Every structure is written in C-alpha cells, then in structure tokens.
Amino acid sequence: MYGLLLSVFLLAPPLATSGTVTFREADPAQSGVTWVHNNAMSDHRYLPETEPPGVAIFDYDNDGWMDLFMVNSGTAVFFRPRTPLRHALYRNNHDGTFTDVTQQAGITADLFGMGIAVGDYDGDGNEDLFITGYEKCVLYRNNGDGTFTDVTAGSGINPPGWSTAAVWFDYNNDAKLDLYVAQFVDYSSLRTCGAPESYGGNVQGSPAQQRYYCAPRIFRPTPSHLYRNEGGGKFTDVSQEVGISDHLGKGFGIVVTDINNDGYMDLFQANDMVPNLLFVNHKGKSFEEVGLPAGVGYSLSGQARSGMGVDAADFNGDGWQDLFVSNIDQELFSIYENNGDLTFDDLSLKTGVARVTRLLSGWGLKFFDYDNDGLIDLINANGHPDDMVDARSRGVTYREPLILFHDEGNGKLADVSQSSGEIFKRRVAGRGLAVGDLNNDGYLDVLVGVNGGSPILLWNNAETKNNWLGLHLVGTTTNPSAIGAIIKWQAEGRVRSLLKSAGGSFMSSHDPRVVLGLGKSEKVDWLEIHWPAPSQRVDRFTSLPVNRYVTIVEGKGIVK
C-alpha cells in the first residue's frame, strides 16, 4: 500500500510556484573568477575523481567583504598532474569582481583535495582553513596580513585515509573551536570496477572491458575523527575517548546543531550506502549514536541510502532543529522534522521535496531565506557520480539542474527553479555549495563547485525589496565564531529565533554572518543574543538599524 501511495504522490502535478527572486550567473570574464576544477578523470575511473570540489565563502582579510575559496585535486598515488595544480583563493574587490591571490597568500599545498572548513581556531580574529583530501589534509593558519602558513605538521591533526567533510565547533564548551573530520571508505586498494559492481550495475549492453566508477557499497566503512583544541595550535584526537570511533561510516556531509536544546552541539553525518549517524553530545564528555531510534539513519522503507549533502534549521519555527539530507536518484531526499523527543519524522512527501528530487542526485545544499521574507527556503546542487549514467539509466543524467525551493509558509516547499533564473535550466555536475552575501546588499548569493568544470557564481537579484538585518557575532568568553548562539528577535509583533549552527552542505563552508529576513517590517522591535556556554550571557538590543550589517561582540554590544 505504501508503494502505491508513493507512486501516486510522485506522479502528481507540481505545486504552483511563487518565487519572486532570480539569480544571475556571473560571467567569468567579468567577475575574474576563471579558475577551473581538475577532477583527474581517467579511463581507470578511480573513485576519488567523482566527488570534489568543496567551496567556501569567507572574509580572509577582514575587510568586511566575503572572499571565495575553491578546492582542487593534486598529486595522489593514482594521479600525477602534468603541470602543478592549485586551489583558488579570490579576493573580493567590492565591485562585483574578484582577484586571484592564491600564490600571494601562500596557499601552495599539493594534495588531492576534497573539501574546506573555515574557522578561527586560535581566536585571533582571523579565519583559518582546513583542507581535506585523499590520504592528506592541510591546516592553514591565517597570519592576519593576507597570507597563510601551513601548520599541519605540528598541529596533531593527521586523519588517515580518505577525508571528506570537516567542521569547526566547540564540542566541550571550553570556548575553543575543535575539529571534526569525516572519513569515507577504505580505498587503499585503488580498486576499479566493471559494470556488475558499478553504480548502474550490469545492464544490457554494458561492454565487458569498460571501466566504471565502483559503487561505494563494496568498500569498507571507516571511523571519523574528532580533534580537541588544546590551545597553542595543538590538537588531540579524542575520537576513541568520546565514542566517535566506535561507529563506522562512509561520511560525506556533516552539520553541527543542537537537536535536543541542551546547549551542547550535536553531529549529523550523511553516509553513503550505510546508515546515517546522529551523535548526541552528552555534556562534552561523550557522544551517543542514535540515528536508528531517532529515525534518521534509514529511509522510510528501512533502507540505507546514499547520503551526501546535509543541513539543519528550524524549518517549521517550533524551536527545534530539523535536518535535511540529499541522496542519489530513486532514493528521495529527506527533510526530517524534529519532534522534540530525540525522534524525527520524514516530511519529504508532505513538503513536496520527494516529488521534485526523485530522479536527482544531491550534493551541496543550504537552508536559507533567499527572499528575506522570514521563511526558510532551500537550494540544492545536483549531479550523478557516474559520468556514463546517461546511457545506462532511463531518465537519469550525469549533469543535473540546480533546484531552488521556496517556503510557502504552509509546510510546503515549492519548486521555483524555472522562474528563478536561466542557471536553473542548465545541467551541471554540481558538488559543493556555499551561500553568502558577496556584495553586502543583504541578499544571499551562491557559489557552486562543479566537478571537472568552472565554478558557478550566482548573484541574488533581490527583487522583493524586503528588509533585513545582518549580524556578525564575535565571541569573547565563548567560542570566537559564536557557534551555538541563539538569536531571538521581534518584528511586527512576531517573535522568531535562529540557532547559529556550523557545517552543512557538502564539503563546503558558508558566510559566517547571519541575515535576518524582516519582510516588509521597517524595524526590529528587539533583538537578543543568547551566547553559548561557557558564557551563557544574554545581550539585548532595542534600537537597531535595518538593511545593514552590524558587528556584535559578546559583552560589548554593537561595535564599528
């Protein structure tokens, strides 16, 4: 009966759309962002070729304008580039253009890169970088003068094998940012596959001699790693101590949020072809994995899926953090409603997400209020991991469109892609995705990493003219990024709240600032910042500007 209802639902006509904001794709010749990702694709079809790149939006030089970072591949046991490859750091010129400053900044590490995590781990006010990769990761300390120093060797951060996503957060509330690094499969064999063990299987007409990308199910899962920040640039691997390494996975996306509202940040990890992991943080002492009883480990039919991208937000405004995870085609994406008792309900059918994503394979994604109406929308980058899927699976393609969902305010997410810009009519091999305000107009722009192609930079055209307030939070006695802070505000008599989470998407990092969508309200009645432990201070403000950014320092208020 369930299968029949699912089929009927998925074949139903699409929801009426109501989007009023379009995104304009930047011309690389005009923006200056001319870097192209090299995915090292070979006739052998080595599995790491399929996944990157991660991307980031962050302010590396503290000038108040967000800059760009894109991860590239490099030397590995299965790949020797003919000419040296480089990652890409682009400085924002404040006029819609960007300048490549990678070499000047000292970003020269050679590794087969996957993702990027941004965070001020040493609390000096400068955002540092952690690049994940196959068999190697790199930690860059931001020197505060436009340059970075590779400090990996003395840091104690040395995850083995294949690292994918990473996220900075304060797991033990000691005011220092710790680092979680997800690990994918054991690929030490460098095994490649014929059709029977590939994503599509041995379909009729598959050439016996053809090499395909192996389905990850045939490789062993591995434990992820948690590194405690000891101060002074030193980290200790506490994965065994806190129970993280007891649970093997095939980790892709990670998001840090507080699912039980106890003031300690929890972890949700999407896994490929094995159950997702949900780690509940027990007061910074240990983590308990509850994915199965919570209802987020498997699909509605009890199957482990190909989890890739993740995010968290209070989607329905009930004060509890909900979760989202994207999967491969035919598996459906899931939006999990938090019931407030450590259980979740999958709303993918009810919200309309299932119908739209049935034939898509999702990677980078983000909950964000793109039109500043106060409701949480969603964007997804998609693309199949098998570059030959077009010839092997009806209705599924290697390159796929981006999808933009608009929150209708009635529990439905309407697909407004076709009315939101020409980019949504194009197909790409989308992977990492980051969201941020690149021109400081209060409307969030989007950066998408493309596997083996040029990144996509999308300007938000802001047609709604809704009002907004932007916040840059700086912790002093709490962690410097204020991860875990609860923001509460009232506009036009309505009280809303938002938790500052960390991570999310797929191997990418977002603009760390927070934009509050105010709709047509011309003022904020009041605003409260509930700083996370160990501070737990509450700062309250009643005279606030609109349509501008303000910096709020814990205990000092609004500063210039």
| Tens digit of pLDDT at every position of the chain (560 positions) | 334 334 333 433 333 334 467 999 999 999 999 999 999 999 999 999 999 999 999 999 999 999 999 999 999 999 999 999 999 999 999 999 999 999 999 999 999 999 999 999 999 999 999 999 999 999 999 999 999 999 999 999 999 999 999 999 999 999 999 999 999 999 999 999 998 899 877 776 667 678 999 999 999 999 999 999 999 999 999 999 999 999 999 999 999 999 999 999 999 999 999 999 999 999 999 999 999 999 999 998 899 999 999 999 999 999 999 999 999 999 999 999 999 999 999 999 999 999 999 999 999 999 999 999 999 999 999 999 999 998 887 889 999 999 999 999 999 999 999 999 999 999 999 999 999 999 999 999 999 999 999 999 999 999 999 999 999 999 999 999 999 999 999 998 999 999 999 999 999 999 999 999 999 999 999 999 999 999 999 999 998 999 999 999 999 999 98
Q: For 20, what's the count of Cα atoms within 13 Å in the CB-facing half-sphere? A: 10
pLDDT of residue 204: 67
Alpha-carbon gap, residue 86 to 431, rounded angstroms: 18
End-to-end CA distance of the chain: 61
How many residues can be counted in the chain? Answer: 560
Alpha-carbon gap, residue 114 to 72, rounded angstroms: 7
pLDDT of residue 281: 98
Residues 6+ apart with CB under 8 A from 441: 460, 462
Alpha-carbon gap, residue 555 to 537, rounded angstroms: 8
Alpha-carbon gap, residue 407 to 315, rounded angstroms: 9
Alpha-carbon gap, residue 187 to 215, rounded angstroms: 12
Alpha-carbon gap, residue 407 to 215, rounded angstroms: 34
Between CA 277 and CA 15, with CA 383 as vertex, the angle to 5 degrees is 85
In order of 294, 336, 496, 524, the CA distances from 297 in angstroms are 8, 11, 30, 40
| Residue 16 and residue 358 in contact, taking contact as beta carbons nearer than 8 Å | no
DSSP for residue 531: P
pLDDT of residue 303: 92
pLDDT of residue 207: 74
Residues 6+ apart with CB under 8 A from 542: 525, 526, 527
pTM for the structure as a whole: 0.95
Between CA 305 and CA 312, with CA 311 as vertex, the angle to 5 degrees is 120
Residues 6+ apart with CB under 8 A from 46: 40, 78, 79, 190, 192
| Residue 371 and residue 403 in contact, taking contact as beta carbons nearer than 8 Å | no
Q: Which two tokens stand for residue 93?
A: 């010129």
What count of other Cβ atoms lies within 10 Å of the Cβ of residue 144? 12
pLDDT of residue 14: 35
pLDDT of residue 18: 44
Q: Which two tokens stand for residue 343?
A: 């259980």
| Prior bond of 160 cis (ω within 30°) | no
